[in-house]
Structure 1
Amino acid sequence: MTKKLGAWIMGHRLLVMVLVLAATAFFAWQIPRVRIESPTIDLFPSSHPYVETFKKYSDVFGGASRVVIQLEVKQGTIFNLPVLEKIRRITKELELIPGVNNYQVLSLAQRKVKELKVDAERGFRAVPVMWPEVPRTQVGIENLRRRVHANRRIHGTLVSLDDKATLIVAGFFEKDLDPLQVYRRIEQIVSREVDDNTELQVIGRPILLGTIMNQYGQLLWLFTATALSILLVLFLYFRDFWRVTVPVLTALLSAVWGLGFLGLLGLNFDPLVIVVPFIISARALSHSVQLIERFTEELAASGDKVEAARATFNGLFKPGLLGIVTDAAGVLLVLTTPIPLLRKLALMGGFWVLSIIVSDLIFNPVLLSFLPVSALGRRRRRSASERLLGVVSTWCLGRRRWVVLGLAGILFAVGFVFASRLVIGDVHPGTPMLWPDSRYNRDTQRIASRFRNTEEFTVVVEGESRDAIKNPAVLRMMEAFQRHLESIPEVGSTSSLVDLLPGIISILHGSDPRWELIPNDPRESGFFLEMIYSSSEPGDLVRYVTIDSQNANITAYLKDHRGETLRRVVAHARQFIDEHPVKGARLRLAGGYGGLLAAINEEVARHQATVTVLAFGIILLLCSLAYRSLVAGLLFLLPLLVSNYLTYALMGARHIGLDVNALPVVALGVGLGVDYGLYIVERIREEFARSGDVAGSIRVALTTAGKAVLFTASTMVFGVIFWAFSFLRFQADMGLLLAFWMVMSMLGGLVLLPTVISLVKPRFIFGR
């Protein structure tokens, strides 16, 4: 079948080339339709219960896109006129940023930040602490300080306990959010308000995304440097224009198909996952180098470039096709995750990988057959790599192979142990996307040192009917739930409508602390809640309760959003929900940025093992079917298991968390290197069919197909060195993982697989 296909392709070379170039032109025409953007909602699993809760109530209680600004003074306290004026100006300017939810802006200068008062003339009322004007006298400022200190909902939450810092918070609508615009507008505000005595720290998801988007130019330079370094290595290896040009052209062709397919579907490309296209391009380059090396051998033997191209196709189409299909299967398995970003990536990546069948296995031999013989007929001896691989072959044969197998077993055991330390979600406070000493992470640490309420995890109290929240049983359940969450160190504080009620009752009883309670009578609780509503301005209570009192919001402020923190909080919340049901209402997890991250982590944890097991299963199945031998499938799987577990071990040792950004890299990496083994095994089969010598066929395979494996893996490792200089820690970490993964896959294909073959002597290679 392969020979017939090869004969047809070479018999219709011009037609094949025209068809491929026409299809490439079509996909190139689609590329301008690709939108370069990072929609926040794409990161969250749309069918997860937490995300469903978030989408249902985000317009009511606020979303996950929140910016937190800390204003901190070096000398004195914030209670002086210039600083208070700054707070007011920053608050006003935040309200003017496009996309801001003005009901979710919070600061000392906001009308909704109030204290409760009661007097004989005006009765109960809620009075803004610093609105509409800033106190301009020392007496007024001192009075403000005393009022802040007396208010537990402000002091320690909005103003630091040492009075040296205050928070200004702004929530943004999720729809049509432009993080880059938000980042740049807030940077302008910060640059105007910072002075010798005032520092501003800014965090929040819009700021994080804006920071990354603002540095896209650096990413472009890094990938340009990577591409140029790969070109340099190709030239130093081949020292030939066409041998360098052909792999680059075929890699570019597959890239055009992949990106064009994305445009054809009308999907966006998220720059945060640019690592994946690089891996796919590396696979395309690897297949192309194998084809060129084989073509050079065949051309030297026959002197006929068309015959050499046909022989190259016949010899490498089967292992190449099998390697590409297994790679594509690994990517397409990511479609099983309900995260839109990963599904889009899987569609693009799967098609992109499959396009390598056309760009490399079909177009590459055709293109080579058209090039001048003088350009390709020179076959130079590369003694260094051949001598190295000759030494490698001695370790795969004879008694030394037991040393190789022993080392592989030890490494697998070590990898298995350390892989158990792999953490789902963020490992460190702040963001793993940026380096620990980045401004964003330094700001996160500075704010966390004074406040423990920067990470929101919200729980909705969903009532069955109107006024459900006025039920004393529901109110007491809310209070008990808050105390339950506050009992673990991961939660700094909580807030809800319930926090207002005991204070009002106490004030109406002469501020007697014994009256800080929730009434037992529904009429009393309803009366006091209506008193709160009537004394509030529009928007004051929007983050606490709906207008009809059917639903309410409880916010837990977490110390960080590490994966372990979120799992502990979720487990603690679920325990309470299971043990304390209440008639007329239920608690629904979870909103806020913490709730959405918890949803992502749960889906990644649920699907990571599934994707990995299925990927291994597909590799086992396809390889077994291709060679009609279960032993073949197990043989190809063995080095992959070792390299994958060692990579997981590296992630655990380096504290690289498995999150939504790393999952597609891991899915691709499962099959990374299977083609190395396929090309070597196929060459062993060919050489054994000629010579009948087991040891000799292994040596020849290593010094021919193995030479291309050694070169392509080394080239990719050299290329990702530049990623270590990226401002994105995530990119540097992925570069390290890819380099390690490629080295392990190369060693698996060059050392472990031939060693096992020499020991087992499987029938699918050597016959009976």
Structure 2
Amino acid sequence: MISKSKSNPAAVMERLVFNNRPAVILLTLLVSLFLFWQAAQVRPATSFEKMIPLKHPYIEKMLEFRDDLANLGNSVRISVEAVDGDIFNAEYMATLHQISDEAFYIPGVDRSGVRSLWSPNVRWTEVTEEGFDGGEVIPQTYDGSAESLEELRSNILKSGQVGRLVANNFKSSIVEIPLLEVFPDPEDNSRLLQLDYRQFSHQLEEHIRDKYEQQNPNVKIHIIGFAKKVGDLIDGLIDVAMFFIVALGITFVLLLRFTRCIRSTLAVLFTTLIAVGWQLGLLNLLGFGIDPYSMLVPFLVFAIGISHGVQVVNGIAISSSTSVNPLSAARMAFRQLFVPGMVALSSDAVGFITLMLIDIGVIRELAIGASVGVAVIILTNLIFLPVVVSYLGLGKKALEYSRGSETRESRLARRFSAFASARVAPVSVVLALAAAGFGLWYGQNLQIGDLDQGAPELRPDSRYNLDNDFIIHNYSTSSDVLVVMVKTASESCSRYPVMEAMDDLTWKMENTPGVQSVISMVTVSKQVIKGMNEGNLKWEALSRNADILNNSIARADSLYNSDCSLAPVLVFLEDHKAQTLSTAIAAVEDFAAERNTDDYQFLLASGNAGIEAATNEVIALSETKMLIAVYAAVMFMCLLTFRSVAATACVILPLVLTSVLGNALMAFLGIGVKVATLPVIALGVGVGVDYGIYIYSRLEAFLRMGMPLQQAYYETLKSTGKAVFFTGICLAIGVATWIFSAIKFQADMGLMLTFMFLWNMFGAIWLLPALAHFLIKPEKLYAANSQQQATD
């Protein structure tokens, strides 16, 4: 018969690791050298396509017709404001010309689509006695004189660009810059480059904003667009390194206070920093960079590593009271903690992997990065750390304190042990049910998507949001555009039935709450037909004559494609709040369901609002599926380990309460479920399960010895409980520093994770023993343990 010690996985790993300690240390150091070198090469990296759900029908249609939707995808708008006076002065127009030219030559710009008052494709049209007249808004004869400026004013008024390229108050104008995700290298046309958002944002700041605001004090620059927003996010997140250093310092102080040993404190910090370095190095090897969302992963790896490192050091300190040397203590602690540590970390990893269910590139990369980080912690903090401490040992003060705590009465642990008593446990369960009921009721207010104007990822007073606010209040066309694509056969978009349907959609959307204005080729056609009839308002309508319609759309620049098979309807929204988007999308879908035919179809969607709507739909569909998956995965790992439904319920139910209360807190704080906050749900569950696993593993061990539940829980709190409390504090501190970040979504994530880590810790200490009082039968565990010992 094989003995229990030989068949126990922890015992097998113990012999493998501790019988080869020099090899373990040497291998770890060699791998560290290589992966730290790789980590040094990690760079901020993101792309437009990684931020959107590529398999959503809206996005598939947008990408299918990308070439026909120039200027409606990834673009930047630069508003050049005249601080004193208006745009009709020679100095302002000269500066605008220079800015247009400067922007034209920035790498990554789709030069064919750049538009400003200086662009030859920005034209004016008017009706005269002889018919239509028109030309470039800024003619070739422009010379900056008073007469030229007066002619410019007249041309702008006749161009239809007031409210679009020119502000309603004539104090600013816009330069529109469409971007290319991939473009030829300016120095080597045979090589393609990926758009670097941070570099592009810096070029806008250096070559546009800083340069021309310094040259002309009467000019102020405002810049908005996806690329600028992401560039600002990356800049803000690079400053997060300061938060990491602060978290490191606070953790060091707390660790030293907990362990009372400088050697073990440094060992935990050292091995955890190795884990962070390995995780970054492996990400670089896998071809990933650091984007605004995966920036949180090194923090999580550090926090999780510290939490498990504390358990290891605490276990070694407890084992030292009965061991003759550090090696024996390390081996004993390793044998006791390896299995629960593996289960906890495996649960973390599986929880993170469930994020792969969400079809958004940045979330999937976050899932991969977090899973890699957890796998690394198994090697560094569960294996390498005990080996290091087996050489270093614990300080004399730490050993004396640990040995004294074995016999010392703990008043706090004694008080908390009452949570397992027959008198307190029912009260705890009732309170938990009441809290869950309140959370479910209030959590109904939780919304999907953004709940604020501008870029909710940034603070309201950030430069980007101030720029966005300026453009919203000075132009008729907002920065939030929903593009409906009207698809027809070739050369058919100008047929009367198609134009009539587009006109009906325009009317419907203009009367939809949250819509600011609507523009399409029909808008231009009706104006031209009116012009061809002496400007009589009675003729501002579509004609059934095909020749008239064809002539009327000749001036509808960029409002239909080259073969007239696709015509976009531009719906300008007041904002991109979740309610505004859902209302507009529902209106278009209802119209399409009623009016689509074999000859023409109204397809959703492009524009930044269309992308936001698609993202919201993916998140709404994925949230419940992901939550079920993460809980199923964690439950499976607990069942596999404890082989008990009751034990699994004791570990899982406190996590459920945390999730419910977390949703209520998000609703109370006005935080929507979006790309930035959805991962918090999985991370909170995946990491939070660690507390319950460590506590229950220790509690079960004492119950198997024959102790009554409350006494077993008291002993658990004296040993593992204090480490769980400490790790909860460390985890919370690791992410609480984010609350002070300039990046609002990171501050939101920091706040939510801090709440979830602390409440998960409190739930494990408070609710788990109460549940155990009702679900666990100590006598059965004791009997099963006695029978197993007799068999062995």
Aligned twin of 2:201: 183
SS at match of 1:493: strand
Deviation at 1:449, TM superposition (A): 1.9
2:504 to 480, 503, 509: 480
Q: What are the residue-to-residue correspondences of 1:291-370 with 2, within 5 Å?
A: 291-370=312-391
Deviation at 1:271, TM superposition (A): 4.1
Letter of the structure 2 residue corresponding to residue 186 of structure 1: L
Q: Does 1:287 align with 2:311?
A: no
Aligned twin of 2:109: 100
SS at match of 1:79: coil
Aligned twin of 2:162: 155
> Cα 1:501–1:385, aligned 2, differ >3 Å: closer, same or farther?
farther
In structure 2, what is the Cα distance between the partners aligned to 1:392 and 1:131? Answer: 82
> Cα 1:174–1:458, aligned 2, differ >3 Å: closer, same or farther?
farther
Letter of the structure 2 residue corresponding to residue 512 of structure 1: N
SS at match of 1:705: helix
Q: Does 1:207 align with 2:216?
A: no
> Cα 1:215–1:756, aligned 2, differ >3 Å: closer, same or farther?
closer
Q: How many residues align?
A: 756
Q: What are the residue-to-residue correspondences of 1:549-698 with 2, within 5 Å?
A: 549-698=564-713
Q: Which moved more, 1:72-81 or 1:251-260?
A: 72-81
SS at match of 1:36: coil
SS at match of 1:703: helix
- Contact 1:64–1:592 (CA<8 Å) still a contact in 2? yes
1:391 to 402, 415, 434: 415
- Contact 1:473–1:582 (CA<8 Å) still a contact in 2? no
Aligned twin of 2:743: 728
Deviation at 1:598, TM superposition (A): 1.7
Deviation at 1:701, TM superposition (A): 0.3
> Cα 1:627–1:372, aligned 2, differ >3 Å: closer, same or farther?
closer
Aligned twin of 2:181: 174
- Contact 1:295–1:312 (CA<8 Å) still a contact in 2? yes
Q: Does 1:453 align with 2:478?
A: yes
> Cα 1:419–1:135, aligned 2, differ >3 Å: closer, same or farther?
farther
Q: What are the residue-to-residue correspondences of 1:24-103 with 2, within 5 Å?
A: 24-32=32-40, 34-62=42-70, 63-103=72-112
Letter of the structure 2 residue corresponding to residue 460 of structure 1: M
Aligned twin of 2:523: 499
In structure 2, what is the Cα distance between the partners aligned to 1:716 and 1:614? Answer: 24
- Contact 2:639–2:645 (CA<8 Å) still a contact in 1? yes
> Cα 1:390–1:718, aligned 2, differ >3 Å: closer, same or farther?
farther
Listed as ranges, the gaps of 5+ residues in structure 1 are 534-540
- Contact 1:296–1:379 (CA<8 Å) still a contact in 2? no
Deviation at 1:577, TM superposition (A): 0.8
> Cα 1:532–1:385, aligned 2, differ >3 Å: closer, same or farther?
farther
Q: Which moved more, 1:84-93 or 1:47-56?
A: 84-93
In structure 2, what is the Cα distance between the partners aligned to 1:124 and 1:605? Answer: 51
Letter of the structure 1 residue corresponding to residue 330 of structure 2: A
SS at match of 1:116: strand
Aligned twin of 2:255: 234
Instruction: Provide Cα deviations, 1:519-543, integer angstroms capped at 9, x if missing partner.
Output: 22334423444x548xxxxxxx3x3
1:754 to 747, 751, 769: 769
In structure 2, what is the Cα distance between the partners aligned to 1:520 and 1:725? Answer: 62
> Cα 1:575–1:435, aligned 2, differ >3 Å: closer, same or farther?
same
- Contact 2:261–2:398 (CA<8 Å) still a contact in 1? no
In structure 2, what is the Cα distance between the partners aligned to 1:375 and 1:39? Answer: 54
Letter of the structure 2 residue corresponding to residue 615 of structure 1: V
Aligned twin of 1:536: none
- Contact 1:230–1:716 (CA<8 Å) still a contact in 2? no
Deviation at 1:119, TM superposition (A): 5.0
Q: Which moved more, 1:331-340 or 1:361-370?
A: 361-370
Letter of the structure 2 residue corresponding to residue 49 of structure 1: P
- Contact 1:115–1:128 (CA<8 Å) still a contact in 2? yes
**CA-atom RMSD in angstroms:** 2.7
SS at match of 1:37: coil
> Cα 1:192–1:373, aligned 2, differ >3 Å: closer, same or farther?
closer
Aligned twin of 2:171: 164
TM-score normalized with structure 1 length: 0.92
Q: Does 1:517 align with 2:541?
A: yes
1:145 to 149, 153, 170: 153
SS at match of 2:401: coil
Instruction: Provide Cα deviations, 1:107-146, integer angstroms capped at 9, x if missing partner.
Output: 333322222235577x544422224465644454345434
- Contact 2:237–2:743 (CA<8 Å) still a contact in 1? no
SS at match of 2:575: coil
In structure 2, what is the Cα distance between the partners aligned to 1:681 and 1:604? Answer: 34
In structure 2, what is the Cα distance between the partners aligned to 1:470 and 1:522? Answer: 8
In structure 2, what is the Cα distance between the partners aligned to 1:39 and 1:767? Answer: 60
In structure 2, what is the Cα distance between the partners aligned to 1:140 and 1:767? Answer: 100
In structure 1, what is the Cα distance between the partners aligned to 2:741 and 2:38? Answer: 30
Letter of the structure 2 residue corresponding to residue 247 of structure 1: V
In structure 1, what is the Cα distance between the partners aligned to 2:255 and 2:534? Answer: 84
Letter of the structure 2 residue corresponding to residue 417 of structure 1: W
Letter of the structure 2 residue corresponding to residue 178 of structure 1: D
Quick one: percent identity of the two aligned structures? 28
TM-score normalized with structure 2 length: 0.89
SS at match of 2:630: helix
In structure 2, what is the Cα distance between the partners aligned to 1:373 and 1:708? Answer: 16
Aligned twin of 1:538: none
- Contact 1:111–1:132 (CA<8 Å) still a contact in 2? no
In structure 1, what is the Cα distance between the partners aligned to 2:63 and 2:312? Answer: 51
1:424 to 448, 471, 483: 448
> Cα 1:26–1:376, aligned 2, differ >3 Å: closer, same or farther?
farther
Q: Which moved more, 1:164-173 or 1:677-686?
A: 164-173
> Cα 1:651–1:133, aligned 2, differ >3 Å: closer, same or farther?
farther
In structure 1, what is the Cα distance between the partners aligned to 2:409 and 2:80? Answer: 60
Letter of the structure 2 residue corresponding to residue 79 of structure 1: F
SS at match of 1:380: helix
In structure 1, what is the Cα distance between the partners aligned to 2:266 and 2:767? Answer: 32
Q: Which moved more, 1:384-393 or 1:672-681?
A: 384-393
